[in-house]
Amino acid sequence: MSWGRRYYALQAVGGVAWWLAVATLPWVRTSTLGSLDPVLVAVFDVPLFVVGSALAAAGVRAAAVVTTVWTALVFGGLAVWATVTGEAGWGVLVMLAATVGSVLALALVLLGRVPTEWVTTGPLRIRPADADAPRSRHVAATVLQIVVFWGLFLGVLPLVIAFAEHRWGLHPALPTPLVTGLTVLGAVVLLAASALGIASAAAMSTKGDGTPLPSATANRLVVAGPYRSVRNPMALAGITQGVAVGLLLSSWLVVVYAVAGSVVWNCIVRPLEESDLEERFGDDFRRYADEVRCWVPRWPVPARVGSVPLSASRR
């Protein structure tokens, strides 16, 4: 049995356990369905989610498609219901997890793998920036990227998540001194992480003839500034900034969002980027990767890092 089918089997068992809990434990029914009629929901959910997952586990591909689509629809419907009524917040989180799991399992069932390369297709395709452009253009593009991406991923999305956390009844009541402490800690961490991000972006745009964005990546292998201590300082800064914003907002869901982003980056984006770097820079990158860790900075800088050209280029 493939991992995709194993997941659907687990989901079927989980669905049965959840419906039994809904029928016997009022607090489960209230926290996951709110005032929705559980009988009406079960009429559709039991055959499409529970039975569908079981059939998908048995190898019925059509059932895998149906149960995945149904799971996504339930997640969307519950999210709207929770936002309008302030009920069923935990049900939204459960169905969000089930939707992510079902989509990944469906890819395994239909394709035999998760097509992570789709992340870097179309406008997001990894490609070097214009090597003939002046350095000022790379710096300007980097500044624009920082404004847009930090504004979206560290501003808009966390505020939406924090709003949902409160609206869905998922935000715990915290004492004022704790909130104040989290705010101060978040501000300090955010400033430090932002400084790391800016220093990393500056090194990439001035030393690498490119930008931090994969679709306009550097033309040179950058082993300067923060890149001398850690291979992914921009990603490390972004993840830490996300956690810091969660602390500022006293939002555990925003912290989870930042941690989930780190998993996505490490498991999907990083392997694609490093494969591209190895293809373009060969032994220079392999030697650099051997000496500098991916996520944990080294200080002092390993002596052999200096033997890697600070701006080795491959055309």
Task: Give the closest residue to 82 by CA, choosing from 172, 173, 171.
Answer: 171
With both helix axes pointing from N to C terminus, report the angle between 157-167 and 89-111 in degrees, rounded to the nearest 10: 130
Q: What is the pLDDT of residue 162?
A: 97
pLDDT along the chain (315 residues), means of 10: 92 97 96 96 97 96 97 97 96 97 96 87 82 89 94 96 96 94 97 96 91 88 92 95 97 97 92 92 92 86 54 45
220 near 209, Cβ under 8 Å? yes
d(CA 253, CA 259): 10
Question: Model's pTM, two decimal places?
Answer: 0.91
In this structure, the number of other CB atoms found within 10 A of the CB of residue 76 comes to: 14
User: Which CA distances in Å does 189 have to 129, 202, 232, 237?
Assistant: 31, 20, 18, 10
pLDDT of residue 125: 83
Q: What is the largest CA-CA distance in the chain?
A: 69
pLDDT of residue 304: 59
pLDDT of residue 122: 77
What's the pLDDT score for residue 306? 47
